[in-house]
Amino acid sequence: MDKSELDAKTKCRRKFVGMAVATVLAPSLLVGCHEKEEENVSTNEDLMREHGLLKRVMLSYDEVIRRIGAELDFPPQVVSDGATIIRTFVEDYHEKLEEEHLFPRFRKAGKLVDLVDTLYAQHQAGRRVTDRILATSKSPKTREDRAHLAADLHAFNRMYAPHEAREDTILFPELHKIISSHEYDSLGEQFEKIERQTFGGDGFDIYLDKVTTLEKQLGIYDLAQFTPQ
Ligand SMILES: [Fe+2]
Ligand SMILES: [Fe+2]
């Protein structure tokens, strides 16, 4: 799907946020958008594609860990840019959605409470690791600085790979069982609204561009390079 198709879908999605808006659209436009309305981003899809962005920053972290281990250079800016994406998009937005809108619903329903407690504690631990990464990445001058940075990047990835996998496979699917389909749909709309308020537009698209830039700077953007011979 090219960018123009994506833009058209996004625009249609937004046009259908309220019926009041839909009623003023020309009938032909309504028909065109109606087909695409089926492709609305649901609550879980929204959260899971945000995990996709988290995963791509983690892959950038992996590349930096590899370079530190091999005593190769890397632009320190890439690490602080990656950690800033984690801070603003993952910790202050995505995790906030989970903490304010998902975790309380699971606690209220008495479902997966131990898992929710662990996920919440991991969000706090992740923030502490990101603080350290942001501080060290400013100027990792000595070999010791680079070793500390690699250890923190590794600690981050070691925790978040299972964290996001557990949310994708256990927590998010269970959401369908503890809330009605109506509440599930309105939660998705609420997430869309918060996203626009937080980022002044489609936060996912904005951060997808940022993550793509990181990957290009590290030479890991070309997907085909990872295909085994
Ligand atoms: Fe989480
Ligand atoms: Fe998450």
Consecutive 10-residue runs of the chain (229 residues): their mean pLDDT? 46 40 39 44 96 98 98 95 98 98 98 98 98 92 94 98 98 97 96 96 97 98 97
- Report d(CA 46, CA 66) in Å as an integer: 31
For the record, the structure tokens of 55 come out as 């995963």
Ligand 2: centre distance to CA 155 (Å): 17
Q: How many Å apart are CA 75 and CA 82, to the nearest integer? A: 11
Separation of 151 CA from ligand 2 center, angstroms?
22
Residue in this structure with the two tokens 């400013």, named with its chain if needed: 138
**Strand, coil or helix: what is 133?**
helix
Q: Closest by alpha carbon to 214, among 68, 69, 58, 2?
A: 58
Report how far apart, in Å, the C-alpha atoms of 183 and of each of 106, 138, 177, 188 are. Answer: 14, 44, 11, 9
Q: Give the per-residue pLDDT at 26.
A: 40
Closest ligand (CA of 120): 1
**CA separation, residue 90 to residues 9, 83, 105, 152, 197 (Å):** 24, 10, 20, 17, 16
Q: What angle do CA 10, 90, 71 make, to 5 degrees?
A: 120
CATH number of this structure's domain 43-221: 1.20.120.520
Question: Which ligand lies nearest the alpha carbon of 127?
Answer: 1
Please tell me the predicted confidence (pLDDT) of residue 24: 38
Q: Give the per-residue pLDDT at 216.
A: 98
Tell me the CA distances in angstroms from 64 to 55, 102, 113, 127, one per residue in order: 14, 33, 35, 19
* Per-residue model confidence (pLDDT) at position 40: 77
CA of 52 to the centre of ligand 2 (A): 10
Residue 48 structure tokens? 């899971």
Handedness of CA 115, 116, 121, 122 (dihedral sign): positive
Q: Which of 60, 52, 49 is nearest to 83 (CA)?
A: 60
199 CA to centre of ligand 1 in angstroms = 20
Tokens of 206: 């904005």
Would you state the pLDDT for residue 7?
Answer: 45
- How much distance in Å is there from the Cα of 72 to the middle of ligand 2? 32
Q: What is the DSSP letter of 126?
A: H
What residues have CB less than 8 Å from 43, skipping those under 6 apart? Answer: 175, 184, 185, 187, 188, 191
- Which ligand sits closest to the CA of 48? 2
Q: Is 0.75 topped by the overall pTM?
A: yes
CA distance linking residue 4 with residue 203, whole number of Å:
17
Phi, psi of 18 (to 5 degrees): -130, 140
